[in-house]
Amino acid sequence: MVTAAASISSAEAAETKDPFWAPASVVGLCGFGTTTMIAGMAIASNGANWGVDNGAVFPMALAFGGSAQFAAGIIMLRRGEIFPGSAFCGYGAFWWAFTLFLSGFTGDAAFGPTAPYDIVWFMVVWALFTFTFAINAHYHGWGITFVFWTLVIAFILLAIDFGTLGAGHTVSKGLWEASGIDTFICGFAAWYVATGIITAQHHKGRKVLPF
């Protein structure tokens, strides 16, 4: 069984073998984590005055959550790290797709009468994608496991939110807040793991921050 120390950041141990391709797990996790935290606050703002909207989410989603994270995924795949490489490429593409869809790039149909159900199925398929990683995440430490399971929950909650809208009902403020807070916690956990990885590297492999 792969231990947590040889988990998503196992590439760090191989850094001297391939110095040209440095480990990219910190970039990938921070790109995912910071963007997800902002998105979580934007979602929660549908239920309470958290003061965040998609004007803050979209630039982060394109630049850091999308582009930087996708690049990190390519690097990790180049290093032979299939789990983080696939995840980073996948969620980098998610942020691109999310931004293109919600910004109206796909045309007026994105905001037509079926729009809530379009978003529901968007969230459902990403919940399935996330489940693929969640059931294997325990091989990569408790921190990564927590990230993926809270993300599964976030996608399910968002599917419920927009399914409720599609059915012509009002989503309760509490449900919007719960969806946003869970999403924020997921992103915060990813940021924490990234911080743990880079801190351990600077302390000769000692896990100052357990992950």
Q: Is residue 209 in a domain?
A: no
pLDDT at res. 69: 98
Q: Is residue 41 in a domain?
A: yes
How many domains does the chain divide into?
A: 1
Q: Is residue 211 in a domain?
A: no
**pLDDT exceeds cutoff 90 at 12:** no
Q: How confident is the model at residue 21 (pLDDT cuts 50, 70, 90)?
A: confident
Q: Is residue 208 in a domain?
A: no
Mutual angle of helices 115-134 and 142-166, in 10-degree steps: 160
Q: Is residue 95 in a domain?
A: yes
Q: How confident is the model at residue 47 (pLDDT cuts 50, 70, 90)?
A: confident
Q: By residue range, what is the domain housing residue 191? A: 21-202
Which of 53-62, 81-90, 102-111 is the most confident on average? 81-90
Answer with the residue of higher pLDDT: 142 or 204: 142
Q: How confident is the model at residue 1 (pLDDT cuts 50, 70, 90)?
A: very low
Q: Is residue 144 in a domain?
A: yes
The dihedral formed by the CA atoms of 156, 161, 163 and 169, expressed in degrees to the nearest 10: 150
Q: Is residue 68 in a domain?
A: yes
Q: Where are the alpha helices (DSSP H) in 45-141?
A: 54-60, 69-78, 82-102, 115-134
Q: How confident is the model at residue 16 (pLDDT cuts 50, 70, 90)?
A: very low
Would you give the distance in Å from CA 166 to the centre of its chain?
Answer: 25
Q: What is the pTM of this model?
A: 0.85
Q: Is residue 3 in a domain?
A: no
